[in-house]
Amino acid sequence: MQEIIGTSNKVLEVDLTTKKFTISDVDLKDLSLYMGGKGLGLKMLYDRMPAGVDPLGEENMIAFMMGVLMGTGAPCSGRFAAVTKSPLTGIMASASCGGPFGMALKTSGWDGVIVKGKSPKPVMLVVDSKGVEFRDAGKYWGMDTHKVQEHLDKIGSAVVIGPAGENLVSYANICSGHRFLGRGGMGAVMGSKNLKAIVAKGKEYKIVPKNQKKFARTRKTCMDYINNNKVSGNQYRNLGTNSHVMLSNKAGILPVRNFTTGSHGEAHKVSAEVMLTKFNAKKSTCKPCAILCGHKATFGGVDRIVPEFETTGLFGPNLEIFDPVIISKWNETCSLMGVDTISAAGTIAWAMEATEKGLFKSNLKFGCPDHIDQTLLDIGHAKGIGKELGMGSRWLSRKYGGEDFAMHVKGLELAAYDPRGAFGQGLAFAVANRGACHLSAAFFALEAYLGMYAPYTTWGKASYTAFAEECFDAVNSLHICQFTAFPVFLQPPLIRVLPTISLKISLSAMAPIAVQVMDLSIWSKFWSSITGIKMNMWQMLKAGRRIHVLERYMNTREGISRKDDTLPGRLLHEGRKSDPKGRTVPIDKMVPKYYKVRGYDKNGIPKDRTLKKLGIVKK
């Protein structure tokens, strides 16, 4: 087997209209500035794709980018990124995914593949070290994600779409194994191009770090961090992300009945503890993984993937459903159709409330599981009521009313955290580049779970949000699992030994200084040991800042500004029923401070000097 030392620095560019491909060499300066993964994908699309393209048009591009860690055996490195313009939001969408496709593409010799154009009929791409073969995919059109992957397994590892992508559902996703590029409608982008699948043969190259001794030391340290951390080495490993159910319920940030309240007495019925004890949950994870958060279980005699917390929270308490068997079935239906569970559940919650209020006609009711599975099938096939529900809650509320309780930001439905109990998370939702993203800064964990930030203050929230965004944009460009942030953030001795109350005071009052004690060098050491290009922690953070601001700049070219950096009316004007004080998110106090930290003007547009300082535009 041949070896790739570090990275191949080669990206396939495919035009479905002409049925041709070219090979682009990645400039090492761009690799250093944007790190790979999400960052390099954004940069390459910025250089190639003008503003204003139709997300479902031939000019839109979708980039699948592997990052520098893929294939090295680094812990939790079996993830790749995708970047495109979203048909749901009309702005840039990025997503992270596990599954086997990333490893197969990387070991075929490629650091990424970019697709544009449109095939006149269903097509799939087969990739090996020589390039791309265009094959007819007519016999696979209409197949669900699991069935088509079964057919393609004999060729290699694939990313595929289901019926939802074929039918241009605005929040259709892309499947790799049992993992998904979930948010923003990336499946619809593939569907609009008549692209059913990309299959990579893989196993042609071995990926070898340039500095193998440094890589081995870094890998051992990272494994120690993960195994000794209470979140990654215990909570997620044993309970998975559904451990968030009871943590959120206790903190009052669990969405219930379309975010009308933040806790419920029956929440324990869908908790991780019940999944483990009643349904015999067992590990089912990405490769290579050291955290092992994914699980399978037996629900009603059927083996299924245990839904992640976002799915459980939004199809469960947020619809007032507390039956894990039913929720697991809906999760499977979404998987087969190729539908994002967060947007699907959030849109159904809007439909239930709009039906109650006489704004919309449906047979959907809170607390009633009837009709939901069929509704999900109808969404995937764009039939009946499902055709409009597939457009998302923003589109529906603009047509029928009920915009205050359409729980989205910039068109992307909220993840399962009520920010009225975590003001920093409210800011993170409001300013996140892709919309209501819980992963852009993940503030809820420090505010509501770990007690390290006071949840009901605005102090320090702007500074920390910007810092976390930069960290996670770097992480998603390396590319490594974002859950490694828990052992990395919580590793420094000062953080481990200080009492929680002291941390809460210091982090809230002195956020710009407090984040300096965090040692993020484990990530930059991975990057430099693999690529051979020097990078320290501060250079990595600057790269994260550059990636974040570039994405924001690309969005402002599509019309995004201060008017869009807000939250649904319900979160600004209605208190949670579980909160006697009736608190709402003081978003207007935090956004201007965030803009100042970020180097944006008062309308949220990156200033010229910010763009020049980061090298996004020429001086």
pLDDT per residue over 172-196, tens digit each? 999 999 999 989 999 999 999 999 9
Say how far apart CA 430 and CA 588 lie, in whole Å: 10
Q: Is the dihedral of CA 267, 268, 272, 274 positive or negative?
A: negative
332, pLDDT greater than 70: yes
Say how far apart CA 218 and CA 504 lie, in whole Å: 30
pLDDT bracket for residue 514 (50, 70, 90): low
Query: pLDDT value at position 1?
Result: 81
Is the model more confident about 512 or about 419? Answer: 419
pLDDT bracket for residue 486 (50, 70, 90): confident
Under DSSP, the state recorded for 614 is T
pLDDT tens-digit map of 529-581: 999 999 999 999 999 999 999 999 999 999 999 999 999 999 999 999 999 99
Residue type, position 186, single letter: M
pLDDT tens-digit map of 203-251: 999 999 999 999 999 999 999 999 998 888 889 999 999 999 999 999 9
Per DSSP, helices labelled H in 479-568 are 485-489, 493-497, 500-509, 511-514, 521-531, 537-556
Say how far apart CA 96 and CA 421 lie, in whole Å: 27
Of 321, 324, 315, 435, which Cα lies nearest the Cα of 376? 315
Say how far apart CA 115 and CA 315 lie, in whole Å: 33
33, pLDDT greater than 60: yes
At residue 457, the 3 state secondary structure works out as coil
Residues 6+ apart with CB under 8 A from 72: 207, 208, 209, 215, 530
Domains in the chain, CATH or no CATH each: 2-208 (3.60.9.10), 242-401 (1.10.569.10), 419-613 (1.10.599.10)
Under DSSP, the state recorded for 359 is S
User: How large is the average pLDDT for residues 258-280?
Assistant: 95
Mean pLDDT estimate for the chain: 94
315, pLDDT greater than 90: yes
